[in-house]
């Protein structure tokens, strides 16, 4: 997230056409080079990018948008505004020849747009039309009490968005990566030995995943080998399954198959596991308390931000065999 002192600017990027999950991950990786926080919504096929303060690095917001669109390398629409809703609408209503649209003020940008863009129920839309409202600006001019009286509490959020008050933050994703490397004492050219080494490296990298490791589906496996002549051999493959030995071995053998033709020894080999999700059929292992825990983490973070961090504590088991109770368990101030 950008510094709170900077004005809130959020970009919404909608890549054109249907995207495979691998392409989506690739675009997300690219966008992370241009912003500290990138939130992907694979269901809606779009990205939200925290763009606060980035115009200072790229002269202007338009320049930054052009740079990002060029880096994505595929047709896409980009909208830039102060909130997520305005950014999304800016991306949806962008002119095809420019590819991007910058909304300086959310409320004035949204005002002339038709009401149907707002997330209102069909009944609420009908009532607003009966009352003679046709644009978001007209709806934004209402007072919140009027919205509550006429449309009920379910429409208050849409009213706030219409007024340009969309406080939803960009939830930047954490980069999920586990890697392991090995340097051979003498250049290794035998296929079987390389395969055995890469399988062991993959198992070593898997130890970085939260337990139980077999319950995760690895998205992408990347292999890197430094050859004797200094060249770097890279292969990447989509796995999308639990990293069981019987799955990993043929995959790595296939990736190393291309190396066999090079006819050269390998000095160093590395394995990188990128991104993981709960594997099919294993969710029960992983979702045991994960929802409650994530919610608790968020609550504690907000509490620690508002009150002093010393007021929010978590307990740890220090040494189960210690003679004194105070030595067995300890309290520490909460930190994410």
Partner 1 sequence: MTQRKRILEQTVAAMQLRYGPAALKRASVKPVAVLPSGIAPLDRALAGGFPCGRFSELLGRGSAGQFTVAARVLAQAQQAGQMAAYYVDVDAAVDVEALVRCGVRLDLLAILRPHGLGHALTMTDDLLRMGSLGAVVFDRLDYPLLLADRGVLKRLECALRNWTPLLSRSQSVLLFITETPPLPCACPEGLPLASFASIRLAFEHQAWLSRGSRVVGFASRVTVLKNKSGPSGQTVSLRFLVT
Q: What is the 3-state secondary structure (H, E, C) of 63-105?
A: HHHHHHHHHHCCCEEEEEECCHHHHHHHHHCCCCCCCEEECCC
Binding positions for partner 1, 306-335, rule CB under 8 A: 306-307, 310-317, 325, 328-329, 331, 334
What is the 8-class DSSP label of residue 7?
Answer: P
Cα-trace Rg, the chain: 26
CA distances (Å), origin 68, targets 58, 61, 80, 113: 11, 11, 12, 26
The distance of closest approach from Cβ of residue 331 to partner 1 in the complex, given in angstroms and rounded to an integer, is 6
At residue 9, the 3 state secondary structure works out as coil
What is the footprint of partner 1 within residues 184-223 (CB under 8 A)?
Answer: none
Question: What is the nearest approach in angstroms of partner 1 to the Cβ of residue 140?
Answer: 19
Burial profile 124-139: b = 16 or more Cβ within 10 angstroms, e = fewer: bbeebeeeebebbbbb
For residue 1, state whether it binds partner 1 (rule: CB under 8 A). no
- Tell whether residue 151 is a contact of partner 1 (CB under 8 A): yes
| Cα–Cα separations (whole angstroms), residue 183 to 5, 186, 208 | 47, 9, 20
Among 208, 296, 319, 335, binds partner 1 (CB under 8 A): 296
What is the total count of residues that contact partner 1 (CB under 8 A)?
34
Cβ closest to partner 1, residue 108 vs residue 314: 314
Q: Is 153 in the site for partner 1 (CB under 8 A)?
A: yes
Using the rule CB under 8 A, is 292 a contact of partner 1? Answer: yes
At closest approach, how far in Å is the CB of 293 from partner 1?
A: 6
Residues linked to residue 274 through DSSP beta bridges, in sequence order: 177, 220
Residue 122 interacting with partner 1 (CB under 8 A): no
- Does 171 bind partner 1 (CB under 8 A)? Our answer is no
User: Which of residues 60, 105, 150, 171 is near partner 1 by CB under 8 A?
Assistant: 150
Indicate if the alpha-carbon torsion angle 23, 218, 294, 286 is positive or negative.
Answer: positive
Q: Does 149 bind partner 1 (CB under 8 A)?
A: yes
In this complex, which beta carbon is closest to partner 1, that of residue 183 or of residue 314?
314
Binding partner 1 by CB under 8 A: which of 144, 208, 302, 319?
A: 302
Q: Is the dihedral of CA 10, 11, 14, 20 positive or negative?
A: negative
The verdict on 288 binding partner 1 (CB under 8 A) reads yes
For partner 1, the binding residues (CB under 8 A) are 123, 148-153, 288-289, 291-293, 295-296, 298-300, 302-303, 306-307, 310-317, 325, 328-329, 331, 334
């Amino acid at each position: 997230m950008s510094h709170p002192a900077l004005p809130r600017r959020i970009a919404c990027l909608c890549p054109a056409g249907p995207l495979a999950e691998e392409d989506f991950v690739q675009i997300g990786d690219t966008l992370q080079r241009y912003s500290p926080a990138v939130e992907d919504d694979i269901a809606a096929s779009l990205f939200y990018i925290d763009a606060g303060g980035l115009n200072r690095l790229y002269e202007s917001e338009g320049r930054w948008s052009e740079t990002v669109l060029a880096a994505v390398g595929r047709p896409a629409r980009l909208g830039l505004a102060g909130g997520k809703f305005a950014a999304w609408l800016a991306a949806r209503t962008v002119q095809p020849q420019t590819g991007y649209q910058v909304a300086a003020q959310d409320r004035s940008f949204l005002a002339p747009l038709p009401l149907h863009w707002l997330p209102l129920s069909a009944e609420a839309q009908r009532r607003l039309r009966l009352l003679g409202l046709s644009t978001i600006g007209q709806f934004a001019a209402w007072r919140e009490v009027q919205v509550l009286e006429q449309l009920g509490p379910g429409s208050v959020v849409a009213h706030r968005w219409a007024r340009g008050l969309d406080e939803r933050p960009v939830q930047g994703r954490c980069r999920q990566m586990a890697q392991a490397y090995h340097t051979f004492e003498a250049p290794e050219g035998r296929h079987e030995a390389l395969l055995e080494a890469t399988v062991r490296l993959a198992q070593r990298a898997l130890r970085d995943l939260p337990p139980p490791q077999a319950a995760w589906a690895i998205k992408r496996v990347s292999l890197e080998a430094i050859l004797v002549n200094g060249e770097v051999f890279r292969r990447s493959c989509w796995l999308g399954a639990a990293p069981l030995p019987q799955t990993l071995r043929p995959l790595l053998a296939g990736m190393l198959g291309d190396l066999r033709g090079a006819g050269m020894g390998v000095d160093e080999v590395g394995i990188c596991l990128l991104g993981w999700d709960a594997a099919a059929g294993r969710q029960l292992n992983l979702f045991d308390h994960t929802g409650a825990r994530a919610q608790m983490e968020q609550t504690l973070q907000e509490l620690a931000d508002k009150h002093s961090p010393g007021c929010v504590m978590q307990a740890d088991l220090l040494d189960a065999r210690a003679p004194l109770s105070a030595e067995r368990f300890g309290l520490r101030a909460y930190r994410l």
